[in-house]
Amino acid sequence: MDSLLLPPQEPYRNWVELPRDITASILLKLGAVEILNTAQLVCSSWRSICKDPSMWRSIDMRNLGDLWDMDYDLEKMCRHAVDRSSGGLVDIDIQYFGTDDLLQYIADRSSHLKRLRLVSCYSISDEGLSEVATKFPLLEELDISYCSLSKQALEVVGHCCPLLKSFKLNNHGFKHPRTECNEEALVIAENMPHLCCLQIFGNKLTNEGLQAILDGCPNLESLDLRQCFNVNLEGHLGKRCIERIKDLRRPYDPTDDYPFDTEIADVGSSEEDYPSGLSEIDFLSDDDDYYEFSGGSDMSDYGDLVFDY
């Protein structure tokens, strides 16, 4: 009698039997690391989906947690993900482990790239970025935040990527010592005329640099100036920004939605150019690839288990 009161049992659902397009949309929620090391090993049908080039039009290797605890070579893994795109890559995010060699590898195999995001990639040089910029003629969105790049590299990017509409060049905000520098702002103003969105969090530009950006980028609709403490938006310039910019973030606006550390640096001039308050000694030497982890192995150690299972 009691069994009659029990709720009816739901039918058993076999995830493997889901339609291929639904399974693909679920797996796309994972990042490249999870797909290559976990999802594709579940079963043959998932393996087949994970090898489809359409799964690799966008490669997300951001926010990977504690890199030093990982047991694989992230650069080699990223190269494999790029290979799987079969030339169809349009969107890639790399954080911490990017190098000139990796950027060149991506450029040689991704002529249709529209979005490139490089964050905290200190091993990417001016020469490395300048060399590959000519291979990204379709690039529309670029983020090179917290990277050690000069105005010369930005000039090359501006010349070689005429379709660029969104640009992020973020850094760590500084109040002391107070340093003014409009070099990057002037490069943006003179070489990126089609920008619609610009984020320069923590930049050292002044009102002069901002004025140049407004003059040189007539299509600008979104401008993030948070922690740009040399900018004063009072008076005519502030009025012009309000009238021109639909989405304006002021220097002292809240930073709750900003994805990185927003602590304001207050350090000596010898350290001011390091976004996390680190000095040069805190970075590994050029002979050490800091994406190689102690006790770890590269992807070849996984053999067929990872890539060809």
Domain chopping of the chain, boundaries:
57-249
Q: In sequence order, what are the beta bridge partners of 176?
A: 266
b (16+ CB within 10 A) / e for 158-192? bebbeebbbbbbbbbbbeeeeeeebebbbbbbbbb
Look at residues 124, 161, 166, 121 and name the one whose alpha carbon lies nearest to residue 142.
Answer: 166
Name the pLDDT band for 280 (thresholds 50, 70, 90): very low
Instruction: Please tell me the predicted confidence (pLDDT) of residue 297.
Output: 37
CB 219 within 8 A of CB 242: no
b (16+ CB within 10 A) / e for 135-151? bbebbbbbbbbbbbbeb
* Global model pTM greater than 0.85: no
The SS3 of residue 92 is strand
CB 165 within 8 A of CB 140: yes
Residue 6 has pLDDT above 90, yes or no: no
3-state class percentages of the chain: helix first, strand second, coil last, to nearest 5: 40, 10, 50
57-249 has which fold? 3.80.10
Cβ neighbours for 267, distance < 8 A, ≥ 6 positions apart: 174, 176, 277
pLDDT, average across residues 54-67 = 80
Residue 52 has pLDDT above 90, yes or no: yes
Q: Please state, rounded to an integer, the average pLDDT across all residues of the chain.
A: 83
Residue 200 has pLDDT above 90, yes or no: yes
Spatial distance between the Cα atoms of 36 and 309, rounded to a whole number of angstroms: 11
**Do β-strands 141-143 and 115-119 pair in parallel, antiparallel, or remain unpaired?**
parallel
Residue 306 has pLDDT above 80, yes or no: no
Residue 305 has pLDDT above 60, yes or no: no
Instruction: Please tell me the predicted confidence (pLDDT) of residue 292.
Output: 31
Q: Tell me the backbone φ, ψ of residue 44, rounded to 5 degrees.
A: -65, -35
Which residue in the block uniquely carries the two structure tokens 């619609």?
196
Cβ neighbours for 155, distance < 8 A, ≥ 6 positions apart: 187, 191
pLDDT digits (tens, 9 = 90+) for 160-196: 999 999 999 999 888 877 899 999 999 999 999 999 9
Spatial distance between the Cα atoms of 259 and 120, rounded to a whole number of angstroms: 13
Between 157-171, 215-229, 231-245, 294-308, the lowest mean confidence (pLDDT) is in 294-308
The SS3 of residue 100 is helix
Q: Where are the alpha helices (DSSP H) in the chain?
A: 20-27, 32-37, 44-50, 74-84, 100-109, 126-133, 151-160, 183-191, 207-216, 235-244, 304-307
Name the pLDDT band for 64 (thresholds 50, 70, 90): low
CB 217 within 8 A of CB 195: yes
